[in-house]
């Protein structure tokens, strides 16, 4: 009767034999894991740098709102004040810049050379009307009425300047002899218009902004009714015709006293390759909460929108507009959802590939064990064939080989599950030996 120690020793030897037979399996698993890891996005960073605009503009307000919302998820948003959309695009395309997301006015892709940079959009946020305020005593009826006038067209790098140059160019006023173009914008342009230092000034701001409130408070200053706004929009698709309805700016004073037509670009979110895709639904969901009620020119639920963008939407933004936020983000904090999402991308394909490989471990082990036994059957088969055909030329040598085989089989160790096949081999070896002796 076998003692427990002997049984344990046999089990250990069987396990060792199984491991040796399948040493290929962990190597294949490691190789598959390395390949799959290449498709997993790196963990999201803790800091994002965003280019907005001047501190008195709405771009800065949007950036500050996002900073507060992202801080609740443990993400730090660093806001970089800039001159506007043109500078924002330049920073996005600069390899040495840390900016990965920026607010950009639609149409700026025509004004700024983005080179080989891969830029994408997360969507548009709201309309940015174009205002042409001028001294009322000039009685300007169209944009071409600015000929020979002093016109503030916005600071270099701003979206206002880009759109103003488009419209001035359409009316043949970009040449210096046609009009005096001044690089003034924001509060500086408001002050110059109020003091009479300029005759007219372009602005691209929200109707509810402090800039517009300051402008309508000025005496003898009005803004142009751009009656041909549909025609301008046809030439420049990034612009949309909008109407500043009667009393929209000030109900008490009924400003404007009648409907005024103008043009509007759209404020868009643009990202480069440095922006981690996991942040996309987080940013868009926060903006959806902020913009869902609409504004003076926007209908409730109209923004954020996949329309009015110069660059293609990222896959994550496209999915958000089609299906809403990802399932995990609806029920888990951002970092937990991001971790689970990355693990799913890695583990599910790994399991799908590994399961069939694991199922091969048993057949490979059995094949290896039987191969140790079957390789001796070849010799027995050849010897038996010689006996049948009478081709045993050296009986002594064949007998020696059979004895050597029997001695070798006595030292062979196989798992208990294969011991019956080993004993059958030993019996067959003795049978061939008897056959050989009978033909002596």
- Residue corresponding to tokens 């048993």: 362
Distance (Å) of CA 387 to CA 108, 375, 377, 381, 392: 94, 20, 15, 10, 6
**In angstroms, rounded to a whole number, what is the distance separating the alpha carbons of residues 105 and 86?**
8
- pLDDT at position 2, please? 44
Q: E strand or H helix at 357, and its extent?
A: helix 334-359
For the chain, what is the mean pLDDT? Answer: 84
- Residue corresponding to tokens 């890695």: 346
129-250-244 Cα angle (round to 5): 30
| Among candidate residues 330, 288, 289, the one with its CA nearest the CA of residue 306 | 288
Cβ atoms 279, 48 nearer than 8 A: yes
pLDDT at 418 > cutoff 50: yes
* Pair of tokens at residue 198: 């300029």
Cβ atoms 66, 103 nearer than 8 A: no
Helix, strand, coil in percent for the chain, rounding step 5: 50, 15, 35
- pLDDT at position 382, please? 78
pLDDT at 1 > cutoff 50: no
pLDDT tens sequence across 75-134: 999 999 998 898 999 999 998 999 999 999 998 888 787 777 899 999 999 999 999 999
pLDDT tens sequence across 141-159: 899 999 999 999 998 888 8
Cβ atoms 146, 168 nearer than 8 A: yes
Average pLDDT (320-339) is 77
Show the domains of the chain with their CATH numbers: 4-31+360-438 (no CATH), 47-325 (3.40.190.10)
């Amino acid at each position: 009767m076998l003692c427990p120690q002997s049984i344990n020793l046999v089990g250990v030897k069987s396990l060792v034999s199984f491991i040796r037979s399948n040493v290929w399996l962990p190597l294949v698993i490691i190789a598959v894991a390395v390949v799959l890891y290449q498709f997993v996005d790196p963990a999201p960073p803790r800091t994002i740098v965003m280019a907005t605009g001047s501190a008195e503009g709405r771009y800065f307000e949007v950036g500050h709102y996002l900073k507060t919302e992202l801080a609740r998820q443990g993400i730090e948003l660093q806001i970089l004040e800039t001159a506007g959309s043109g500078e924002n695009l330049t920073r996005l395309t600069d390899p040495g810049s840390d900016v990965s997301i920026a607010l950009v006015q639609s149409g700026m892709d025509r004004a700024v050379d983005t080179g080989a940079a891969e830029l994408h959009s997360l969507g548009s946020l709201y309309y940015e009307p174009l205002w042409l305020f001028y001294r009322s005593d000039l009685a300007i009826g169209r944009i071409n009425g600015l000929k020979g006038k002093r016109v503030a067209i916005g600071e270099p790098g701003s979206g206002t300047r880009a759109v103003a140059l488009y419209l001035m160019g359409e009316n043949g006023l970009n040449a210096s002899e046609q009009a005096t173009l001044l690089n003034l914008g924001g509060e500086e342009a408001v002050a110059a218009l109020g003091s009479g230092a300029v005759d007219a000034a372009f602005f691209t701001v929200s109707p509810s902004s402090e800039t517009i409130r300051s402008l309508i408070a000025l005496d003898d200053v009005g803004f142009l009714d751009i009656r041909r706004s549909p025609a301008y929009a046809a030439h420049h698709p990034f612009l949309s015709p909008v109407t500043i309805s009667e009393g929209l700016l000030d109900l008490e004073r009924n400003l404007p006293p009648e409907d005024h037509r103008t043009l509007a670009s759209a404020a868009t979110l643009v990202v480069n390759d440095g922006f981690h895709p996991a942040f996309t639904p987080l940013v868009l969901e926060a903006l959806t909460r902020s913009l869902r009620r609409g504004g003076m020119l926007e209908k409730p639920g109209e923004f954020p929108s996949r329309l009015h963008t110069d660059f293609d939407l990222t896959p994550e933004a496209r999915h958000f507009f089609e299906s809403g936020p990802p399932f995990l983000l609806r029920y888990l904090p951002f970092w937990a959802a991001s971790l689970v999402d990355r693990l799913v991308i890695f583990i599910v394909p790994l399991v799908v590939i590994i399961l069939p490989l694991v199922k091969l471990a048993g057949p490979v082990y059995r094949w290896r064990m039987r191969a140790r036994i079957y390789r001796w059957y070849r010799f027995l088969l050849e010897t038996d064939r010689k006996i049948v055909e009478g081709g045993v030329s050296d009986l002594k040598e064949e007998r020696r080989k059979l004895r050597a085989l029997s001695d070798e089989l006595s030292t062979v160790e196989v798992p208990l599950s294969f011991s019956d096949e080993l004993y059958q081999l030993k019996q067959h070896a003795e049978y061939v030996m008897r056959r050989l002796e009978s033909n002596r």
